Amino acid sequence: MDDINFELADKLGYKRPKSPFRNNDLDFFKKAIEESEKFDNFKHLQLISNSGYKLAFLIFQNGTIEYYENKSNYIVENKIAYFYTTGSKLYFVCDTENFIISHKIREKQKAPFLIPETFSKQDNYYKIFEKFLNNNLEKLDADNRYVLDKTENDPSVIYADGNEFPVQKYIANPNGDKIPLIRFPDNLYIPKVNGSNFISHKLKDTNRRYVNPYLFSGYIGVLFELINSSIISTGSCFNDGTGFPSSEHTNGESIDISFDSKTNSITNLAAIEFAKIRAFKKFHFQKVVINEICKPQISKAGFLDSEITYDKKYHKDHFHFGNFNMSKVENKSKKLEELIGRKNYS
């Protein structure tokens, strides 16, 4: 079938979706995308516009990423959609809820650390701190070291860390900055991409289920690059924007990816691990962290020392990808308005 079947749209009585978005609108919309064989900038943008999402990202196979703000009255509240194109086909990848939170910054704490006076002895948090102060924390587990200081308006978050930083405290940025976050889909599975291939993404063993929506558009590009693999992520940040144990996960600005099961050990990385580095670099993640034990293998695979950050202590079972280049995600809202203004089929 050629392009979008607008006749079918008329037959089904399809109109611009009203808010709230109904499921059958989305079903029609997905069908229209499936039936469009050729990528056509105008018609695809028209589809994206009519999908009713407040914000839509379009990720191109070549690394280009564009986003469109839908200014029409028919928008789905608080939802962001992700689309991917190979240049010949458009795919609807997923939609997810959008949150606005206060930008978090880390406050330096001085030792010795005292349990905040506001915590009662019966409080679970008090017990956590007591354990911490007695040097008795067994596991590096964010959930068990996570303390909300509810005495402040926008609660600060405190982690008791047994490592280099005795205590990490995060507070809302005093300048009042707000930032967007989305909830990671727990699983992402897309059949029918290039025949029998599929993308699969899973979040595993983490409550860091939130992430910056722009960075996530780069991650979608990565998943399509690694289309025959199951990618396991141990997440980005919590819904308050913090992301223990790494301070670089604050505000959802980094993502951790587990090593593939094909990798036997840290001294025997499978080819998929090198493919991950290439894919994340292509989609604008400027920082790659892995343990220094991997250095000879990574160098042998052709990466320069300047491209990789080698960590002495951690990252023995996962990569850290961060420093996403936000400037690579282009705002094309004006282009959308111009194109849609040219012709209106509804």
Q: What is the binding site for Zn ion (CB under 5 A)?
A: 246, 254, 256, 320
Is the CB of 36 or the CB of 254 nearer to Zn ion?
254
Is the CB of 21 or the CB of 216 nearer to Zn ion?
216
User: Which residue is listed with tokens 């990466």?
Assistant: 303
End-to-end CA, the chain: 21
What are 14's two structure tokens?
């399809």
Q: How far is the CB of 255 from Zn ion (least distance, A)?
A: 7
State the Cα–Cα distance between residues 116 and 27, nearest whole angstrom: 52
SS (H, E, C) 74-87: CCEEEEEEEEEECC
DSSP string, 134-175: TT------GGGGEEEETTSSS-EEEEE-SSSSSEEEEEE-TT
Q: Which helix (H) or strand (E) holds 263?
A: none
State the Cα–Cα distance between residues 199 and 16, nearest whole angstrom: 30
Q: How far is the CB of 324 from Zn ion (least distance, A)?
A: 12
Q: How far is the CB of 215 from Zn ion (least distance, A)?
A: 12
Rounding to the nearest 10 degrees, give the CA dihedral for residues 220, 224, 229, 233: -10
Q: How far is the CB of 244 from Zn ion (least distance, A)?
A: 11
State the Cα–Cα distance between residues 42 and 199, nearest whole angstrom: 27
User: Which residue is listed with tokens 């405290």?
Assistant: 169
Is the CB of 139 or the CB of 300 nearer to Zn ion?
139
Is the CB of 172 or the CB of 289 nearer to Zn ion?
289
Is the CB of 92 or the CB of 321 nearer to Zn ion?
321
Q: How far is the CB of 289 from Zn ion (least distance, A)?
A: 7
Q: How far is the CB of 188 from Zn ion (least distance, A)?
A: 20
Q: Which residue is nearest to Zn ion (CB)?
A: 320
What are 183's two structure tokens?
């909830």
Is the CB of 45 or the CB of 232 nearer to Zn ion?
232
Is the CB of 98 or the CB of 254 nearer to Zn ion?
254
Parallel, antiparallel, or unpaired for β 167-172 and 156-160?
Answer: antiparallel
Q: What is the DSSP letter of 268?
A: B
Scanning 226-267, the segments in alpha helix (DSSP H) are none
Q: How far is the CB of 291 from Zn ion (least distance, A)?
A: 12
